[in-house]
Amino acid sequence: MWWLAVLLLAAPCAGLLYQWLGERRDARRFPAPGRTAGGLHVRTTGGGAPPVVLDAGIAASSLSWRLVEQELAKHTTVLAYDRAGFGWSPANGAARTMRNLVSELRRTLDQCGKAGPYVLVGHSFGGLLLRHFAAAHPEYVKALVLLDPLEPFEWHPLSPRQAWRLGKGVMLARRGAILARFGVVRLGLDLLLAGSRRLPKLLAKVSSGPGSVVPDRLVGEIRKLPPEVWPAVRAHWCLPRSFRILAEYLERLPEQCALPLDEDALRPIPVTVISAARSAPEVIAAHRRTAAASRRGRHVVAEESGHWIQLDQPGLVVDEIRELLI
């Protein structure tokens, strides 16, 4: 049975080689479009003041803002950044605590070359992060725009079902890191974006079990972006580090949601909250309260949007941001 031993050894070696060659190719094809500031990648477009800072969802990158960024850059300076470990930002080894996330953003703004105060725009988890940032550093903030922001009660305290779901997500993310290292994720995404569906679905089912519907949902959202950015998104999600960082974010989510929010610090800051019409009623009600906590708060419901409002209704997002540029 020597041939079986050779086969078992050859398969992972081939996967490692496929991944290594793919990473080298991707680095040449998709160089960082921005520059490094404070250890994080920042893409700067447009010109004028006040600058607008775009903060993505929990596992997304600056690319998720492309539809908004392109239009908004006609009116002001736009800074779309990648949190450590995602997009073009390398992982930095620091724990993904809220304190560290806030400190990293402040350091990046200090070194980005664009003076504040800033209009901060955050989607989902990015919205929660920016609320903490604004409370800690209100002098940096001209206004906040929160797109379907994560509300702390959504993940704290955890119900038994939520704990199971979160544990499942962590397990899949860790498994994804292993599969990415051996080229399995790269193979599946290459085939999926090339139009093949049967083999990628089989790979997802084998690796994720009931979680195999997730890749289809993510690809569906990615396809709302301009086609020219699809390959870069694929390249980032072929990296093992993306899955490792995601696992830590998920592990720490209850801890992040348990942190108190200083609503008084946000009271003088203009805050616009845009809810997805498909969000749960209790989440929309919480968004309404978040907006009402500001003396200059505004709550908007994106009637044609799911959670990714910047992809479903980018024009609405741009219009709401422009109202705060004056």
> Is 148 within a domain?
yes
> Is 59 within a domain?
yes
Q: Is the dihedral of CA 239, 42, 136, 56 positive or negative?
A: negative
DSSP SS3 for 91: coil
Q: Does residue 262 sit in the same domain as residue 152? A: yes
- Of 238, 253, 268, which residue constitutes the final position of a domain? 253
Q: Does residue 169 sit in the same domain as residue 216? A: yes
Give the tens place of pLDDT for each residue, 44-79. Answer: 999 999 999 999 999 899 999 999 999 999 999 999
> Is 3 within a domain?
no
Measured distance CA(35)–CA(220) in Å, rounded: 29
User: Can you give the pLDDT at residue 40?
Assistant: 97
Measured distance CA(162)–CA(158) in Å, rounded: 6
Q: Does residue 39 sit in the same domain as residue 138? A: yes
Structure tokens, 221: 């959202």
Backbone φ and ψ for 261, nearest 5 degrees, come out as -105, 130
User: Can you give the pLDDT at residue 212?
Assistant: 41
Q: Does residue 93 sit in the same domain as residue 235? A: no
> Is 14 within a domain?
no
> Is 140 within a domain?
yes
pTM of the model: 0.90
Burial class (CB in 10 A: 0-12, 13-18, 19+), 34: buried
Lowest mean pLDDT among 141-145, 202-206, 221-225, 240-244: 202-206
Q: Does residue 117 sit in the same domain as residue 57? A: yes
Q: Does residue 70 sit in the same domain as residue 152? A: yes
Average pLDDT value for the chain: 88
Question: Whats the size of the chain, residue-wise?
Answer: 326
Q: Does residue 152 sit in the same domain as residue 164? A: no
Q: Which residues contact 170 (CB under 8 A, 6 or more apart)?
A: 247, 250, 251
Measured distance CA(299)–CA(277) in Å, rounded: 12
Measured distance CA(142)–CA(134) in Å, rounded: 9
User: Can you give the pLDDT at residue 93?
Assistant: 87
Tally of CA atoms within 13 A in the half-sphere of 121 that contains its CB: 30
Measured distance CA(206)–CA(210) in Å, rounded: 9
CB 144 within 8 A of CB 269: yes
- For residue 201, pLDDT beyond 70: no
> Is 12 within a domain?
no
Measured distance CA(10)–CA(4) in Å, rounded: 10
- Of 208, 225, 253, which residue constitutes the final position of a domain? 253
Residue identified by tokens 């600058």 is: 51
> Is 191 within a domain?
yes
> Is 99 within a domain?
yes
Q: Does residue 40 sit in the same domain as residue 67? A: yes
CB 79 within 8 A of CB 52: yes
Give the tens place of pLDDT for each residue, 18-42. Answer: 888 888 999 999 999 999 999 999 9
DSSP letter string, 197-236: -HHHHHHHHHHHGGGGHHHHHHHHHHTTS-GGGHHHHHHH
User: Can you give the pLDDT at residue 17?
Assistant: 81
Specify the number of domains making up the chain: 2
pLDDT confidence of 195, banded at 50, 70, 90?
Answer: low
Q: Does residue 55 sit in the same domain as residue 152? A: yes
Crossing angle, helix 160-181 and helix 198-208, to 10 degrees?
A: 120
Q: Does residue 42 sit in the same domain as residue 147? A: yes
pLDDT confidence of 13, banded at 50, 70, 90?
Answer: confident
- Of 253, 288, 307, which residue constitutes the final position of a domain? 253
- Residue spans of beta strands (DSSP E) within the chain: 35-37, 40-45, 52-55, 78-81, 118-123, 141-147, 271-276, 297-302
The domain in which residue 187 lies consists of: 160-253
Q: Does residue 152 sit in the same domain as residue 271? A: yes
Q: Does residue 84 sit in the same domain as residue 183? A: no
Q: Domain containing 97 — which CATH number? A: 3.40.50.1820
Residue range 88-98: mean pLDDT, rounded? 94
**In this prediction, what percent of the chain has a pLDDT beyond 70?**
87
